[in-house]
Structures are given as C-alpha cells and as structure tokens.
Amino acid sequence: MSTTIVRTADLEQRERHADCMERIAVEESREAFAELFEFFAPRVKGYMLRLGASDSEAEELAQDVMVTVWRKAGMYDRRQASVSTWIFRVARNRRIDVQRRTNKPALEPDEPMLQPPAAEQPDAAVSRGQMEEQVRAQLATLPEEQLVLLQAAFYDGLSHSEIAQAFGLPLGTVKSRIRLAFARMRGGLDAPE
C-alpha cells in the first residue's frame, strides 16, 4: 500500500514540475521558477559534486543550469521526458562543456603556427617576382577561350561544372581547355630562356 502512495506522490510531483515548466515558458512565471529552483538547484549541485566539480564550480554550474531552465523552458516537452530528466541532461551537457574548455592545452608562445611569417629573403623575393612575370607573360599567350576558363577556375574559384554552366559549354570541353592551357603554360615556363 505504501508503494502505491509513493508512486502517486511521485507522479503528482512530476506533473506539478511539468506544469511549472509550462508556466515558465508561457507566462514567465517567477513563482513556478522559484518552485523548480528550490527543488532542483540543490540536486543539480549535488550531481555536479558527484561528477568531480569543486564546491564553487558545482554552485556556479547549478546556477547556470537553472538560468538555462528559465531561458529555454519553451523547449521542454512533457511528452518526451520528465522535468528532472530534462534538467539533468542540461546539467550533464553543461559539465561536459566546462570540462572541454578547461582541458584544452594552453597555447605555447613559441608555437610555430602562432609566429609571424619570416621576412622574405631578397633573393627569394626577386625569384618570386621573376616567376610571376613569366606566368603573366604565359597567360598573355593563351587563346581567349582557354584564358577565360582558366581565370574562372582560379580567380573566381568556380568548379569545372560551374564554369560549364556559366559559359554554356559541355563539361568535357571545359576540362580539355583548362588542361590545354596548363600544358601550354608549363611548356612556356619550362623552356630555357
């Protein structure tokens, strides 16, 4: 008999909590929120402590979870889960987020990716300039039909199929013209001066 009373009380409490969530979502009811806060905040804090959070961290996470309850009450669906399941899922996810943030390694000031690029050596700058000049000269020798497709691919960043559609050409023609343009440029760049 006492088991039936406990189950009935549990069901009543679940329904009451679900009603509170709906009142928060629809009416922004502070009384409903206060009731949920009083019931769940200490339980969420205890849950965080069991997950290894410090006392202050557990308190902060519990507060954060309850603020999420206030802000996102409209996302709760009583047909999907009980309020406690929903709140503890939010709490678990919040704890995981915090752990991910704190477990990221600190950036090393000497990390090569964080360093500015080295100044270009004069001979490398001259060599690059000469190569750019040769490429421009080779581009000028291309037939117009190859040049416009090459520009569309590399300056405009279009894929071969996008070029075919834009110029009204078959895809095979686009690929052939670009391939021919590369071969012609390579031949001109590899030729001795």
pLDDT digits (tens, 9 = 90+) for 85-128: 999 999 999 988 888 877 766 667 777 777 777 787 888 888 88
Q: Which long-range contacts (CB under 8 A, 24 or more apart) does 75-78 make?
A: 76/18, 76/21, 76/22, 76/25, 78/18, 78/21, 78/22
53: containing domain: 2-102
Say how far apart CA 20 and CA 14 lie, in whole Å.
10
Q: Residue 79 is part of a domain; what is its CATH number?
A: 1.10.1740.10
Whether 81 and 155 share a structural domain: no
- Which residues, 6+ apart, have CB-to-CB distance to 51 below 8 Å? 95
Total domains, the chain: 2
My answer on whether 98 and 126 are in the same domain is no
Residue 1 pLDDT class (50, 70, 90 cuts): very low
Q: Are 67 and 131 in the same domain? A: no
C-alpha distances in Å from residue 99, one per residue of 16, 48, 57, 91, 93: 33, 12, 11, 12, 10
Task: Please indicate, yes or no, whether residues 156 and 95 belong to a single structural domain of this protein.
Answer: no
Together in a domain, 7 and 96: yes
Per-chain mean pLDDT for the chain: 86
pTM, two decimals, is 0.51
Dihedral of the CA atoms 66, 68, 69, 73 (nearest 10)?
Answer: 170
Are residues 97 and 21 part of one domain? Answer: yes
Residue 176, in any domain of the structure: yes
Q: pLDDT per residue over 155-167, tens digit each?
A: 888 899 999 998 8
